């Protein structure tokens, strides 16, 4: 098996083990047993367990960012101009995000466990902050894209609004993982869309000139 395939197998197996047992339970032996490979195979691909965990954070972050982009892309398929278009895209995007959480809750659980572990572990503590900074940047870019697509503007920098969206998606994820109630997730999504809609500029041209 090529090294890249072994790496992929170990990463996907590690996500599953962490989702079930937490990071502390994701020993190299447990990950190898899940993947059906030997310990020597593990160490052929990763020098240490922490190296694998760092790769997991990177992989998980990329998948989350891809999911954000896909959700916004789905929401923007039928674009209406103006405020109504912004609201429709945001509603559709958050609904698609909730669909993703429902479809793969184990991956979301693993990402939360990894973030907490990284934050408390020497040598990995910066990974959690880097993860969130990348999320903020991606969401801000997406909000700018929504405004451009609908001919609108935000009344403040998109970087100031991005944390509101991330707080909502974090809340949606934790809520669903704990009680598995889609209706509550939809309520959280509706609340953040209502909040964001208050930041759609009444006069986009003036706002854009100031920016």
Per residue in 3-22, pLDDT (tens digit) is 999 999 999 999 999 999 99
Q: Quick: pLDDT tens for 62-104.
A: 887 877 767 666 656 667 889 999 999 999 889 989 998 999 8
Reported confidence tier of residue 31, pLDDT bands at 50, 70, 90? very high
Residue 202 has pLDDT above 80, yes or no: no
Q: Output the domain CATH number for residue 22.
A: 1.10.10.60
> 58 and 141 in one domain?
yes
Asked whether residue 22 falls in the same domain as residue 113, the answer is no
Range in 65-74, 135-144, 169-178 the model is least confident about: 65-74
- pLDDT recorded at residue 80: 82
Are 59 and 43 in a shared domain?
A: no
Q: What is the mean pLDDT of the chain?
A: 89
Residue closest to 21 by CA, chosen among 117, 153, 134: 117
Q: How far apart are CA 117 and CA 24, in angstroms?
A: 9
Exposure pattern of 130-161 as b/e (b: 16+ CB <10 Å)?
ebbeebbebbbbbbbbbbebbebbbeeebeeb
Residues 6+ apart with CB under 8 A from 35: 9, 10, 12, 13
Do 174 and 108 lie in one domain? The reply is yes
Number of domains in the chain: 2
The CATH number covering residue 85 comes to: 1.10.357.10
- Full domain range(s) for residue 28: 1-47
Beta partners for residue 200, in sequence order: 154
Answer yes or no: is pLDDT of 205 > 80.
no
Same domain? For 171 and 67 the reply is yes
Q: What is the mean pLDDT of residues 102-128?
A: 86
Q: Are 34 and 114 found together in one domain?
A: no
The answer on 193 and 182 residing in a single domain is: yes
Residue 211 has pLDDT above 60, yes or no: no
């Amino acid at each position: 098996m090529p090294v890249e395939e072994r790496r992929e197998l170990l990463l996907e197996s590690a996500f599953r083990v962490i989702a079930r047992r937490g990071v502390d339970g994701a020993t190299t032996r447990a990950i190898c047993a899940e993947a059906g490979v030997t310990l020597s195979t593990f160490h052929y691909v990763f020098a240490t367990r922490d190296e694998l965990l760092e790769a997991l954070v990177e992989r998980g972050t990329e998948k989350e960012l891809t999911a954000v982009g896909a959700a916004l892309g789905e929401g923007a398929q039928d674009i209406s101009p103006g405020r109504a278009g912004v609201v429709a895209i945001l509603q559709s995007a958050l609904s698609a995000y909730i669909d993703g959480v429902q479809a793969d809750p184990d991956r979301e659980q693993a990402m939360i466990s990894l973030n907490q572990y990284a934050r408390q572990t020497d040598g990995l503590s910066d990974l959690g902050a880097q993860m969130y900074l990348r999320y903020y940047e991606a969401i801000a870019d997406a909000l700018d894209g929504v405004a451009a697509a609908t001919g609108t503007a935000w009344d403040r920098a998109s970087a100031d609004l991005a944390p509101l969206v991330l707080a909502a998606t974090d809340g949606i994820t934790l809520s669903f993982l704990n009680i598995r109630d889609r209706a509550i997730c939809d309520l959280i999504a509706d609340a953040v869309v209502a909040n964001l809609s208050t930041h759609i500029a009444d006069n986009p041209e003036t706002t854009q000139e100031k920016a």
